[in-house]
Amino acid sequence: MELALTASRQLTDWMARERVSLGFSTYQAGKLFLVGLQPDGRLSIYERTFNRCMGLHVSDDARTIWMASLYQLWRLENFVPDGESTPDGYDALYVPTLGHTTGDIDVHDIQCRSDGTPVFAATLFNCLATVSDTHSFRPVWRPPFISALVPEDRCHLNGLAQDPGTKEPAYVSAVSRSDVSDAWRDRRLGGGLLMDVRTSDVIADSLSMPHSPRVHPDFPGRVWLLNAGTGFFGYVDLHTGRFEEVAFCPGFGRGMTFVGRNAVIGLSAARENRTFQGLPLDEALRSRDAEARCALQVINLDTGTTEHTLRIEGVVRELYDVVALRGVVRPKLLGFKSDEIRRMLRVEDA
């Protein structure tokens, strides 16, 4: 089956104006995609295979990408110096330089502390964790309702938002507050919650499969997230604990990043897994005479309107995470299936 990426009419102009490229992961197809612009203004698309790639994080200077795969957490570095390009015209080339073997702990969202250390949602263990030089991972926080650190996905803790100022973990999303293996699947319709990591308080509940909480520095008092089971993008008001709907997204929402006062959101098409069927999203789509789509959707945070889309059709039907590469126009990356990486050398100054 082929793959087709179709941009809305002004998406490429917006990317050029913002000087930004986009990345997204799909564990269904096992691919990491980087989308930028060619010199003639058309889309530039680069992809490489990484088994079950999910969570992504990009440093503020876009020099580093962190990516979760089936049993490893990879650090990819841009080998192109600032202001330069490769001989074939790419201004960024991301190469895997460091891999932490975590085991298959179902790593979802990733954020980085101010010292560059990654913190991630270790979903199988219902906790936040960081890397270890001697062990698979080091737990740093778990919800108080989780009674034991065991490899049982009990509450499906999946999302992680950091404080933009301190770069420390601030909020997590989970599908339920269950303390029994796999019990979160029985709480998909209204068991979801948003928690404050610093206090372990529940900030909002009665959500439906919440994903991708994020904090925008221009909107204090709000935690933006995808209430994926209903199809709505919005924010939790930290003063009231209410989820305020901002825009309906025609697909299962997962993965979000900000570009200015816009949210770039990942959507997945209809899924065969029973876990993602029978949700309010299904009826919301029917009432709007629409079908779930696989796409990136750019939503204005002030108006809630969709300004740009990137439709993804063919072999890729599900996305997990979305990131923005600020200051990068045309990125490429290397994987492990070709010989290129054997000859890609960069020597540090003595």
- At residue 271, the pLDDT reads 66
DSSP state, 242?
P
- Residue 218 and residue 124: Cα distance in Å, rounded? 33
Q: What is the secondary structure of 3-14 as a DSSP string?
A: EEEEE-TTHHHH
- Residue 104 and residue 101: Cα distance in Å, rounded? 9
Biggest alpha carbon distance in the chain? 64
Domain extents in the chain: 3-343
pLDDT tens, 52-95?
Answer: 999 999 999 999 999 999 999 999 999 999 999 999 999 999 99
- Residue 26 and residue 35: Cα distance in Å, rounded? 14
**Residue 169, CA distances (Å) to 110, 116, 264 in order:** 10, 13, 21
| Nearest residue to 279 via CA among 247, 314, 249 | 249
Q: Which residues contact 131 (CB under 8 A, 6 or more apart)?
A: 73, 100, 102, 117, 118, 137, 138
Q: Which long-range contacts (CB under 8 A, 24 or more apart) does 240-243 make?
A: 241/203, 241/204, 241/205, 242/204, 243/204, 243/206, 243/207
Name the stretches of the chain with pLDDT < 70.
Answer: 1, 270-276
- Which of helix, strand or coil describes residue 302? coil
- At residue 2, the pLDDT reads 86
- At residue 349, the pLDDT reads 86
Q: How far is CA 345 from the centre of its chain?
A: 29
- Residue 171 and residue 169: Cα distance in Å, rounded? 6
- At residue 126, the pLDDT reads 98
Please state the pTM of the whole predicted model: 0.95
Task: Please report, as a single letter, which amino acid is at residue 237.
Answer: D
- At residue 272, the pLDDT reads 64
The token pair that represents 331 in the structure block: 């990125």
Of the options 2.70.70.10, 3.30.1330.50, 2.40.110.10, 2.120.10.30, the CATH number for the domain spanning 3-343: 2.120.10.30
pLDDT tens, 180-194?
Answer: 999 999 999 999 999
Q: What's the mean per-residue pLDDT of the chain?
A: 96
